[in-house]
Amino acid sequence: MWDGFARLRWVALGLGVLTMGSVVEASNISFKAVKKNGVVLTPGVCNLTTHLCTTGPVGKGCANNNDCPVGTNNLSVLANDTVEVEMYLSNWINDFPVDAVPNKVRAYQVTINRAGYVSNDNGSAKPLGWCGPVDEISCTDSATCPPEYATCLPDPLPGCTCLPHTPENGGFITLSRTDFLLFGVDGPTPEAITTNIDFVYYGIAENTVQAVTDTGVARYLGTLIVKVSANACGTFTIGFFENIAYTFITDPGTFKPVQSLPTLTPLTLTVSDCSRQLLSCNPGHCNLDARIGHNRLDASTRLTPFQVVMTFSKSTTSPNMTAADFEVTVLPDGAPPNINSLTPNPGDSKITTVSFLPRIQQTRWTCIREKGSNKRCCMGSLPPDADNSRISQLDDVFEVFDNLQGIVSPALTIEKCDIDRSVRCSPADLLMAVDVLTGADAFTPTMGDSLPALVPACPSMNMPP
């Protein structure tokens, strides 16, 4: 894939900026949110005589106060909000006192850190128009992509994505702004590179005469527009790569060009009124069911609907949760079971029991994703894998025996030791485990059966943002 940084690194090499002097962290590059859902957060002051902003983006051309928004680094948002963010450089006057023309900037580059697009709690705040995942999914063709990112785009674009993929809508530089750092300056056209989600913004003056003096007024560098996902919850801290190879300013020094890493001020977006989030499942995520799947004498009679008790952060009855709120998949392949019923807990409406009919398949993982939060729970069926090794073997018989003797600590849960589905763990489960392994009665021998490995061993409940 084409390296989005290659062009500017070549420019930087031509400037000689790789010969660094001492780093003085006096300057600042900051994010400031200026609009939410297209509405200016706080209008500033536009001087209607000069038609220039006197607060907010000082010096920017304006027609009214809304053209002079006063930005903020900390903003409360809701799911599905769109936030327009601007970047500014300020206070570089003391960064480059090394020659006869100090305190000027000839080139800049800022690189956004993708980690900030994801919340530790849930969801994403990705650049507007970025239809792919935050972490690239490589592909050779669309058939190798997952359903949620079903289109394989060629280099230099990301691999698996969805359509339309229009990241240029979320990252750009408005060159006509009079407060732009390099407004009216000759040189290569400043650019926002959006082929990688770590957007890169840069500009360079043609020569040292064109370099920009610090007048004490913050100067605009570029715009980022982020779209908060419908399942967003928690805090997003969107900032820059704190590495002088990716984020820097340079001076035009004739004898000793200098590169500096400014102090970097990120943007914090907080979603406190979160949508309904899936918190946990019982049986737990990545748990195995060691119980028999069908009647001992009739393989066509599957035993009881498989049930998962799911706990949410908000009520499942207001609004009412339905089967359409879920997606069921089977890994690595197979027809998914149907959701037969949803039964809210009468004592706690945040808890509901999801029943499958027919029950989940043996030697397969069944994952149930709650679409609203985009979180999932995966369960496997592998009789009689009582020891959770993901292989059916004689060791499982001994595990059931040790559990009956009180040796196993903590004791096996019901889905691990109740092999015969009598709703209790008893010596009869030892015999049933042997019958299942050896193929007695209507059972197909399970000795050596296994569940496919999950990557990682137990993937996060959070689906990729």
Check residue 118 and report its DSSP letter. B
For tokens 């021998």, name the residue: 445
Report H helices in 174-308.
none
> Angle at the Cα of 219 (from 183 to 109), degrees rounded to 5?
80
State how far the Cα of 48 lies from the Cα of 258, in Å rounded to an integer.
40
User: What is the pLDDT at residue 358?
Assistant: 80
Cα 167 from chain centroid (whole Å) = 16
What's the pLDDT tens digit per position in 269-308? 999 989 899 999 998 899 989 999 888 898 888 777 688 9
User: What is the pLDDT at residue 255?
Assistant: 59
User: What is the pLDDT at residue 214?
Assistant: 92
Contact 112, 267 (CB under 8 A): no
pLDDT at 253 over 90: no
**Of 120, 177, 115, 163, which is closest to residue 190 (Cα–Cα)?**
177
User: What is the pLDDT at residue 5?
Assistant: 40
Asked whether the CA dihedral 438, 439, 445, 446 is positive or negative, the reply is: negative
For tokens 């008790």, name the residue: 309
CB atoms near residue 95 (< 10 Å): 26
Model confidence at 98, pLDDT cuts 50, 70, 90, reads: low
Cα 353 from chain centroid (whole Å) = 28
Return mean pLDDT, the chain: 89
pLDDT at 40 over 80: yes
**Of 285, 306, 284, 290, which is closest to residue 363 (Cα–Cα)?**
290
For tokens 């979320």, name the residue: 170
Determine the average pLDDT of the residues in 73-99: 90
- Range with lowest mean pLDDT among 88-92, 152-156, 256-260: 256-260
What's the pLDDT tens digit per position in 333-356? 888 999 999 999 999 999 999 999
What's the pLDDT tens digit per position in 133-160? 999 998 989 998 888 899 998 877 789 9
Determine the average pLDDT of the residues in 173-201: 96
Q: What is this structure's pTM?
A: 0.78
Determine the average pLDDT of the residues in 8-16: 40
First vs last C-alpha separation in the chain:
22
**Of 142, 67, 105, which is closest to residue 260 (Cα–Cα)?**
105
Domains defined for the chain, CATH in brackets: 6-131+166-271 (2.60.40.680), 278-438 (2.60.40.1220)
pLDDT at 318 over 90: no
What's the pLDDT tens digit per position in 397-450? 999 999 999 999 999 999 999 999 999 999 999 999 999 999 999 999 999 999
Sort 140 into a burial class: Cβ within 10 Å, 0-12 / 13-18 / 19+: exposed
pLDDT > 70 fraction of the chain, expressed in percent and rounded: 92
State how far the Cα of 398 lies from the Cα of 387, in Å rounded to an integer.
9
Sort 434 into a burial class: Cβ within 10 Å, 0-12 / 13-18 / 19+: middle
State how far the Cα of 415 lies from the Cα of 247, in Å rounded to an integer.
53
Determine the average pLDDT of the residues in 200-225: 94
Contact 58, 217 (CB under 8 A): yes
